[in-house]
Amino acid sequence: MLAHPAVLGARVLPRSRIVAVASIIGFAFLTGVLAQWEIPLGFTPVPITGQTLGVVLAGAALGSRNGAASMGLYWILGAAGLPFYAGGDRGWEAATGSTAGYLVGFVVAAWLVGKLAETRQDRKVLTAIPAILAGSVVIYLFGVSWLMISLDVDLATGLEWGFAPFVVGDLIKVAAAGTLLPMIWRLVGDKS
């Protein structure tokens, strides 16, 4: 439960169980807040949101285990009825509906980005951007796959509804996070 010593959260916060739990909860809530920034698209059940930024930052800041735990908590809190999902959606139906693959992808992506941060891939722009991009790819793999299964659509339609409209926005988020993380490491003093 303690933050991995090589991640940003461990560098700027005391390493204790209380801080770890508070960080897990904090990133779950941050992702919930970012989900409220929503642009619905009429042709797909998947809206444009800021959630994926919260996901990759959780992984990078908290590490693999705690980042994944944070996104798991995000999923559970939304399923339990907190208005955490895109546009304030909530409940079991939303947690297991056509966009559930993205929620599963959030957990796996936070773990992957966290694992890469534990190997110091978030310290330089040239390695941070591919690490963040890898997390985004994982979200799409899970999200589009489940969208296709749950709505019984083919790959072309799955990509049209669950991937194509989001690429530009996600590339902007990847570039922002991949640039921001190394800048923060320079500010706090990267001792690697």
pLDDT by residue (tens digit) across 89-148? 999 999 999 999 999 999 999 999 999 999 999 999 999 999 999 999 999 999 999 999
User: Do residues 102 and 139 lie in contact, with contact meaning Cβ atoms separated by under 8 Å?
Assistant: yes
Percent of the chain clearing pLDDT 70 (strictly above): 99
* pLDDT tens sequence across 60-93: 999 999 999 999 999 999 999 999 999 889 999 9
pLDDT of residue 69: 98
The CA angle 75-77-78, to the nearest 5 degrees, is 65
Output the pTM of the full model.
0.93
Residues 154-166 have pLDDT tens digits of 999 999 999 999 9
Going from the N-terminus, what domains does the chain have, and what CATH number goes with each?
8-188 (1.10.1760.20)
Angle (nearest 5°) at CA 141 between 144 and 160:
35
How far is residue 159's CA from residue 94's CA, in Å, rounded to a whole number?
21
Best CA proximity match to 62, nearest among 127, 110, 105: 110
